[in-house]
Structure 1
């Protein structure tokens, strides 16, 4: 059975060119990049080539890029550094719809006595910029707001929010894990102080990420030990994966137009085809300002996990907007924050595409998903 993979916001396939870039450092060039000898030196050169490629994708300087293990480590490091370099400040600002890599970190620091403002969103998942401006105080150490939402795809106004923070002398971090590679980001004109990203969202392997730290921003390492990453992140570098994310960054820059046009057209065809064939469904989030690859659709009076199980039997990979915890199904914190009605939120499904997605695959989903919903509604315990 053919696999139709529409779960690219969870992880992406490793690009063949990325794999080719990694293999020499898994097989032949196994030296330590910190070694003084030539054999290790050429491995160190590969790390710096990857750093330059990632910096070029972001419009940054290579020295502003720190390699990490993942987006979560980058997020944790950004928050840790901002708080530790400003011990006199005890206030954080984030949103109610952040990824757990930021939301749970904020909650941890709240337990340590910090004050945290969680910005609310409206029915389309949009932030209130007036609420944000009012939340900034002289005690604010950091604003951490995602560039784009992983569940519904909303793109947030990072440019103006970062500018507002800068005017108040407040550090600004953005979790750009879902945005990098799907839309242009130019940090030479975007005044954020720190930005997190993850390799496995841009067709690099899992286990590699990066943190951008603007030159001049005070920084405190999260991991201490050796002198790697200019003393900013200890631990022997994961050279194969670093080479991979470097190649992935190069390819992402080349595919940006495909993401913005081709992938967006496929997403719209998929979404419109489903909506036209399935009654009582709705698009979650802001259809006018979202990632080009993401569609989150809520189906009334069905349960999300059941949809996913039946789609899986058809070879279709997707994600649900609800999470199962201890046998009790609850809609995700994002959908609850948006205020999606419970009988819709319970049946929300996220479909996320990539430039590998084909029109034939989209047609296959449009053909089979309506029947799945019809079957489930016939046996659903949920009623109006």
Structure 2
């Protein structure tokens, strides 16, 4: 089995699984309970909160746990909008955002908010000059993802944050860092980020857990109400095993950060070299030199991406056609559309994404099987 779909989800590490098992079977108390079992669960949660805060160099009280990245993005955007109804109703989002951001601002648009896209260039980078012109005195929020989940474009958050705040210090800056956290050193305070969202299952943690950094003093209205857990920002009994799993995964990711990066970069470079040398009619989407070291988006001429995906799946090789959250939809990727690719080029795009569990030998096997499949698939392509 070869798994090259790590931007969709990652394998849970052994230490994460063991830590979660302990919270499921031994330290299983409700953290809201007043007895010892509850205290132990609460202490474990606070330890994970401290791990995340340390990784981001923020205060522990600025970290709130959620059910995942989608909920975190919803809290960030609708939470700020609901808390500042007397403020501006102008929202800016980049052209290549994740559906959990795009659909949330689309909802706000139906509620009377003015939502404008920030244009990107052919590599997926936010056009800084355009952003400078778009930020206004009534701009409530700017939302830009740190690392694009489909093509791996990395935005210059320091430059963007400084620009936004220089034009309007009251504009909130939200960053979806789901593909960046655990892979890069993130400093939200330095980059003047007010809200930053992460997800556990992108860094060898469990699914169903995420977190949001909310800068101290930022007013937020919760999505729903209940027992006032997470300081009222996210009510409901905490997912203790998930929170502990996210904490362990974060600790592992940042302890191994440089080693993992060097290792995975070598795998990506090997894949690019082999594709260029041995596979005919291959193109690359996005900035393959400066983009995220774990994501590679390629175009395979003459074969629809979904056909290739299923052909490889028969060989137990797993890839993606793009974002897992939108891959079941029939319309084209908004990210690839923003790159001004033709309909044909978008139809032929696949995403390969790597982790510390992949090997260069897997790359060689992938190239071998791809070259076996392509002549047949290209011969029978639909006109």
* Structure 1 residues 61 and 204, CA gap change in structure 2 (3 angstroms): same
* Match 2:74 to one of 73, 76, 86: 76
Is the partner of 2:267 in helix, strand or coil? helix
Partner of 1:334: 335
Partner of 1:190: 191
Matches of 1:343 and 1:132, distance apart in 2? 30
Provide the rounded CA distance (Å) in 2 between the counterparts of 1:188 and 1:59: 8
Pairwise mapping of residues 49-88 of structure 1 onto structure 2 (< 5 A)? 49-88=47-86
Offset of residue 139 of structure 1: 1.0
Secondary structure at 1:116's aligned position in 2?
Answer: strand
TM-score by length of 2: 0.95
Aligned pairs, number: 378
Q: Which residue of 1 aligns with 2:286?
A: 285
Secondary structure, counterpart of 1:145 in structure 2: strand
- Report deviation, 1:275: 2.4
Task: Tell me by how many angstroms 1:330 deviates.
Answer: 4.3
| Structure 2: gaps of 5 or more residues | none
Q: What's the Cα RMSD here? A: 1.5
Query: Could you list the runs of 5+ residues in structure 1 that have no partner in the other structure?
Result: none
Q: Is the 8 A contact 1:321 1:347 kept in 2?
A: no
Q: CA deviation at 1:223?
A: 2.4
Distance 1:325 1:234 in 2: 31
Q: Deviations over 1:309-329 (max 9, x none)?
A: 111111110001497778xx5
Q: Is the Cα contact below 8 Å between 1:259 and 1:292 reproduced in 2?
A: no
Q: Once the two structures are superposed, what CA deviation does each residue of 1:128-162 show, in whole Å capped at 9, x if it has no partner?
A: 10100111011111111100100001011211111
Structure 1 residue 139 and structure 2 residue 141: aligned? Answer: no
- Indicate conservation of the 8 Å contact 2:78/2:108, yes or no: no
CA distance in 1: counterparts of 2:35 and 2:321, whole angstroms: 51
Q: In the alignment, which residue of structure 1 is the partner of 2:251?
A: 250
1:308 aligns to what? 309
Q: Which runs of 4+ in 1 moved over 3 A?
A: 321-326
Provide closer, same or farther for how the CA distance between residues 259 and 133 of structure 1 changes in structure 2, counting only shifts above 3 A.
farther
Distance in 2 between residues matched to 1:111 and 1:330, nearest whole Å: 22
Alignment of 1:301-380 (within 5 A): 301-321=302-322, 330-380=331-381
Q: Which residue is 1:128 aligned to?
A: 127
SS of aligned partner of 1:165: helix
2:225 counterpart residue number = 224
Determine the structure 2 residue equivalent to 1:298.
299
Residue 98 of structure 1 is matched in structure 2 by: 97
Contact residue 281 and residue 344 of structure 1 kept, 8 A: no
Residues 280-319 of structure 1, C-alpha deviation per residue, up to 9 Å, x if partnerless?
Answer: 2211011232111110000122100110011111111000
Distance 2:191 2:290 in 1: 18
Distance 1:324 1:216, change over 3 A: closer
| CA distance in 1: counterparts of 2:4 and 2:241, whole angstroms | 27
